[in-house]
Structure 1
Amino acid sequence: MLETAPSAQTARDLLDFESGALYFDEAPEPIVAALLDKASNAATASDRVAALGDAQRLAPQDLNVIVALYRHHYFLQAFEEALVIADLAMREAGKRLNVAADWRLLTVDDVNRTSGEAMPMLRFYLWALKGRAYLLMRLGRFEEALGPLEKLIELDHANRLNCKPLLALTRERLLDLEGDIR
């Protein structure tokens, strides 16, 4: 089947923040919210890790918890751990969108079928995929970063998520690495 470029409506919707609830609009259970607050105010990294771990055990599918875990690992530059959490974020968003959790299976038709109310969740999924690509770049795994970036550009022809510069940088780094090998 021949896929066409998304309509102007779809491209506009990728930037429409008024169309539906954002992940953090879903209030976590009070005990989970308290643990997230405890983690954000923790005096030590071990206290923060303990609170986040407790929150994850209580609410493993809560996107507030998943984002808190991602931020924790990202800011510690624990990129391998953040990569696992980015994949978890896509899996959970995929369930809510009723689309493939495996980003490689996501299609332009999936994007075009997404209703206005679900656009923020689709955007969350796509930002998690962009985060995955960026983490791979930070880890020096440029070849692996190509796939997610190319998929994002396939899904977002208008480049609303601004992935083209990352793809260009990734390709440039690969050429540099190729030159270093010779």
Structure 2
Amino acid sequence: MVGSVGQAAPQSVFEDALLSNALLGGGLPDDAEDHLWQAALSYHLDDVAERHLRQAEALAPGHAAVLIGLYRFYFYKGRLSEALGIAKLCLEKASRENNLVPDWREVAAADAPFGDYEEILPRFFLFTLKGYAYLQMRLGNLEEGRAAVLKLIELDSTDKIGAKVLLGVLDRMGHDDD
């Protein structure tokens, strides 16, 4: 079952590093940062929180912190289709920031230092693709999810980001657990 994929989101420690990293858009305007804080404080009020997120987006369009805030909000609210839309925007941003071809399917391991976990931009691409794969799986788009997982394994041959866990879930689907 797709629901058995679980509820784990892409790694928050990684996300926290992205938020402060100048390579991914630099400093967030104070007003946008304030809206992100207000969104977090009003998380239980969906309309209010989303309005703050959208105001932050208007002030800092395409900023990693805003995109991650929107992604988290939609993901944890169970609005997975909307989270997938944000994941696609993040993939576009990660491709641009890494000077990669726009289509993740055409990215090759030699295109960026994907094996160097200290390199934040390639890691941003990998974690974004992992989130995209996960959401595709949760939404029942298993072939797209599998293709993204296989690309992750190709790019990250030592599996530092844990794509093989997702592949294992896909491989077990439809089999009885003993």
TM class, shorter-length: 0.7 to 0.9
Q: Structure 1 length as normaliser, TM-score?
A: 0.77
Which residue of 1 is the match for residue 97 of structure 2?
96
Deviation at residue 98 of structure 1 after TM alignment: 1.2
Q: Structure 2 length as normaliser, TM-score?
A: 0.79
Count of matched residue pairs? 156
Distance 1:160 1:39, change over 3 A: same
Deviation at residue 113 of structure 1 after TM alignment: 8.2
Moved more, 76-85 or 24-33: 24-33
Kept in 2: contact 1:22–1:121 (CA 8 A): no
Which residue of 2 is the match for residue 23 of structure 1?
18
Taking the aligned partners of 1:44 and 1:131, their CA distance within structure 2 comes to 25
Kept in 2: contact 1:92–1:101 (CA 8 A): no
Deviation at residue 132 of structure 1 after TM alignment: 0.8
Which residue of 2 is the match for residue 38 of structure 1?
38
The letter of the residue matching 1:162 is: G
Runs of 4+ in 1 over 6 A off after TM superposition: 113-117
* Largest Rg, 1 or 2: 1
Give RMSD over aligned pairs.
Answer: 2.5
Percent identical among aligned pairs is 31
Distance 1:136 1:115, change over 3 A: closer
Structure 2: 5+ residue runs without aligned partners?
A: 1-12, 21-25
Distance 1:112 1:37, change over 3 A: closer
Kept in 1: contact 2:114–2:123 (CA 8 A): no
Which residue of 2 is the match for residue 4 of structure 1?
none
Task: Indicate the SS of the match to 1:77.
Answer: coil
The letter of the residue matching 2:123 is: R
Task: Indicate the SS of the match to 2:113.
Answer: helix
Which residue of 2 is the match for residue 79 of structure 1?
80
Task: Indicate the SS of the match to 1:99.
Answer: coil
Kept in 1: contact 2:133–2:146 (CA 8 A): yes
Task: Indicate the SS of the match to 2:158.
Answer: coil
